[in-house]
Amino acid sequence: MKLSGLLHRTHHELPGATGVARVDRRSGDLLRRLGPGDIAVLDHVDLDRRTAEALVAAGVVGVVNASPSISGRFPNLGPELLVEAGVPLVDAVGTAVLREVKDGAKVRLHEGGVFVGDKEVARGVEQTAESVADAVVEAKAGMAAQLEAFSANTIEFLRRERTLLLDGVGVPELFLPIRDRQVLVVCGGPRHAEELRALRRYIREHRPVLFGVEAGADTLHAAGYAPDVIVGDPDGIGTETLRAGSEVVVPAQVDGHAPGLERIQDLGIGAVTFPASGNAEDLALLLAESHGASLVVTVGLRAGLREFLDRGNAGSTPSTFLTRLKLGEKLVDGHAVAALHRSGVSTGVVVLLVLAAVVAMTAALAVSGVGQVYVDVVVDAFRSAVEWVKGLSG
């Protein structure tokens, strides 16, 4: 009994990260099965930001990649995000790991080794903040080739989806009136929940139409908002969120297949499909623009050069680029909106300050016995001030 207890303690005191292995060569299929405490075993060259975000959101305690997470073609963002989140990443262990590690097995990661029980079944490089930074610097040399490929893919995408981008053909109808209203699109990017909190005042004052894109829809619901429109694969969205949404739009592939549509049907929730090759974020923006939104504010979206090149599906990069071109001046980043609201003083506060000053002045004049004529002058000045403030807020 004592020996058994000693062995039990020794097993749990072994160094490294221990969890249940979830194994799949295809990252998309694997992400649907992950849960807290799992170790993801995948084969994903140039781990992109969206996949890394989904891994962190799932609560994995480690990631094993059969391929290099940074191949050197371009400075992708996924490994950096995992390391910043404290998730161990064992990199470039070879494809044999997909056979050696069985789905559901208990595995341990330590100093680049992948262990099943006491046996090391694979070995790679455990990435650190320093190693990722060095790899990103080296990878910047590959950006020229990526830009050439991006240009070619953009032309091909425009040829294939020109009727959608130019004429809005294929954009589904929505019951919710959007024309001439502001739209807030919340996506599941880094720190998107924090960005949403910074926009509470904007939401309260302008009451925009709320679009939740996949994880962003859950964030909206968790923050106490009911999403007006939910866009994305329903398999990655919580049931309560789906039930709270007014309308659900499910992206469909070119052949008409819409992943997650069966779940929507099982829940008895109405939904429309949006056949297009773009990602869910781009489709949400196209929905807002096609239905006449006056302004589209985004949360959790990044559109820098690295973000354009860092896509899990290379074909979606032109979609992202061309969608933003189509929206043009209507598209505003949530950071800018939050900064403007922080720097300004609300109309209500200004009016209260003016009113307080008028009351104090009126009381002083009345007490001093200066006369009613002066009180009338102050009241007139107050009315003028209110009109001036209204002009500023308008």
d(CA 234, CA 227): 14
Q: Of the given ranges (136-145, 192-201, 203-212, 352-361), which has the lowest mean pLDDT?
A: 352-361
Mean confidence (pLDDT) of the chain: 81
Pick the closest to residue 189 from 323, 359, 48, 393 (CA basis).
Answer: 48
Q: Is it the case that residue 161 has pLDDT exceeding 60?
A: yes
Tokens of 237: 């969205």
Tokens of 194: 């924090």
Could you say which DSSP state residue 330 is in?
Answer: G
User: How much of the chain is in helix, strand and coil states, percent to nearest 5?
Assistant: 50, 15, 35
CA-angle at 291, arms to 251 and 151, nearest 5°: 60
Give residue 179's pLDDT: 95
Spatial contact of 251 and 283, defined as CB atoms under 8 Å apart: yes
> Within 10 A of 309 (CB to CB), how many other CB atoms are there?
23
> Within 10 A of 98 (CB to CB), how many other CB atoms are there?
18
Question: pLDDT tens across 268-292, in order?
Answer: 888 998 888 778 898 999 999 999 9
Strand order in the sheet with 182-186: 272-275, 247-252, 229-231, 209-213, 182-186, 295-299, 331-333
Q: Is it the case that residue 253 has pLDDT exceeding 50?
A: yes
Query: Which of the two residues, 185 and 189, has the higher pLDDT score?
Result: 185
Give residue 340's pLDDT: 80
Could you say which DSSP state residue 54 is in?
Answer: H
Query: Which of the two residues, 55 and 256, has the higher pLDDT score?
Result: 55
Q: Of the given ranges (19-23, 92-96, 324-328, 374-378), which has the lowest mean pLDDT?
A: 374-378
Residues 320-334: what's their mean pLDDT?
Answer: 85
Spatial contact of 297 and 183, defined as CB atoms under 8 Å apart: yes
**Percent of the chain with pLDDT strictly greater than 70:** 75
Question: Could you tell me where the beta strands, DSSP code E, fall in the chain?
Answer: 17-23, 38-42, 62-65, 89-91, 106-110, 113-116, 119-123, 125-126, 182-186, 209-213, 229-231, 247-252, 272-275, 295-299, 331-333
Residues 161-182: what's their mean pLDDT?
Answer: 85
Rounded CA Rg of the chain: 27
Give residue 326's pLDDT: 85
Give the best-scoring range by mean pLDDT among 206-210, 234-238, 364-368: 206-210
Pick the closest to residue 216 from 135, 283, 129 (CA basis).
Answer: 283
Residues 99-118: what's their mean pLDDT?
Answer: 94
Q: Is it the case that residue 226 has pLDDT exceeding 80?
A: yes
Q: Where residue 254 falls among pLDDT bands split at 50, 70, 90?
A: low
Q: Where residue 319 falls among pLDDT bands split at 50, 70, 90?
A: confident
What pTM was estimated for this model as a whole?
0.61
Q: Where residue 362 falls among pLDDT bands split at 50, 70, 90?
A: low
Q: Where residue 363 falls among pLDDT bands split at 50, 70, 90?
A: low
Give residue 159's pLDDT: 75
Question: pLDDT tens across 117-148, in order?
Answer: 989 999 999 999 999 999 888 877 766 666 67
d(CA 231, CA 244): 13
Give residue 191's pLDDT: 80
Give DSSP secondary structure letters for 92-154.
---TTHHHHSPTT-EEEEETTEEEETTEEEEE-EE--HHHHHHHHHHHGGGHHHHHHHHHHHH
Mention every residue, 6+ apart, whose C-beta is less than 8 A from residue 343: none
